[in-house]
Chain A
Amino acid sequence: MGKSLVDKIWDAHVVKVVGDLQVFYIDRHLIHEVTSPQAFDELAARGLTLYNPDQIVATADHNVPTRNQHLPIQDPLSRSQVDKLTENCAKHGVELFGLGHEYQGIVHVIGPELGITQPGMTIVCGDSHTSTHGAFGAIAFGIGTSQVTQVMASQCLLISRPKRMRITVNGELRPGVTAKDLILHVIAKLGTGGATGYFVEYAGSAIRALSMEGRMTVCNMSIEMGARGGLIAPDATTFAYLKGRPYAPQGERWEQAVAYWQTLYSDANASFDAELQFDAGGIFPMITYGTNPGMGMALNGSIPLQVLESESVSFDKSLQYMGFAPGESLLGKQINYVFIGSCTNSRIEDLRAVAAYVKGKHKAPHVEAIIVPGSKQVEKQAIAEGLDQVLTAAGFELREPGCSACLAMNDDKIPAGAYCVSTSNRNFEGRQGPGARTLLASPLVAAITAVEGRIVDITKYLN
Chain B
Amino acid sequence: MEKFQTLRSTAVPLPIENIDTDQIIPARFLKATTREGFGANLFSDWRYTSDGQPRLSFVLNDARYGGQILLGGKNFGCGSSREHAAWALYDAGFKVVISSYFADIFKGNALNTGLLPLQVSDEVLQRLFRQIELDPQTQLIVDLPTQTLTVPVWEESIGFALDPYKKECLINGYDDIDFLINQKAAIAAYEKQRPWAY
Contacts and interface: CB of A to CB of B under 8 A. Distances in A.
Interface of A: 12-13, 15-16, 18-21, 23, 25, 27-28, 34-35, 37-38, 41-42, 46, 48, 51, 62-63, 75, 77-78, 80-81, 84, 118, 120-121, 126-128, 130, 142-147, 149-150, 153-160, 192-193, 196-197, 223, 226, 228, 257, 260, 292, 294, 310-311, 313-314, 317, 407-409, 416, 426, 428-431, 434-435
A15 B81 contact: no
Interface of B: 15-18, 20, 22-23, 26-28, 30-35, 45, 50, 73-75, 78-84, 86, 101, 103-105, 108-109, 112-113, 122, 126, 163-165, 175-177, 179-181, 183-184, 186-187, 190-191, 194-196, 198
24 contacts: A15-B183, A27-B198, A34-B31, A41-B34, A48-B181, A77-B31, A120-B196, A120-B198, A143-B105, A144-B109, A145-B84, A146-B175, A147-B112, A154-B187, A160-B163, A193-B18, A193-B74, A193-B101, A226-B78, A257-B196, A310-B122, A310-B126, A311-B17, A407-B22
Contact of A260 (B15, B122, B126, B195): B195
Between A19, A42, A150, A294, the greatest number of chain B beta carbons within 10 A of the residue's beta carbon is seen for A150
A35 B80 CA distance: 11
A193 B77 CA distance: 10
Contact of B81 (A41, A48, A127, A416): A127
B194 A12 contact: yes
A409 B82 CA distance: 13
A150 B181 CA distance: 8
A15 B190 contact: yes
Contacts of B22: 407, 426, 428-431
Given A28-B198, A34-B30, A158-B180, A18 B187 contact: no
A121 B83 CA distance: 24
A144 B186 contact: no
Given A156-B187, A158-B180, A313 B78 contact: no
Contacts of A128: 79-81, 105
Contact of B50 (A34, A130, A416): A416
Given A78-B31, A142-B105, A144-B86, A150 B186 contact: no
Contacts of A28: 198
B184 A154 contact: yes
Contact of B186 (A23, A130, A160, A416): A23
Contacts of B86: 144
A156 B30 contact: no
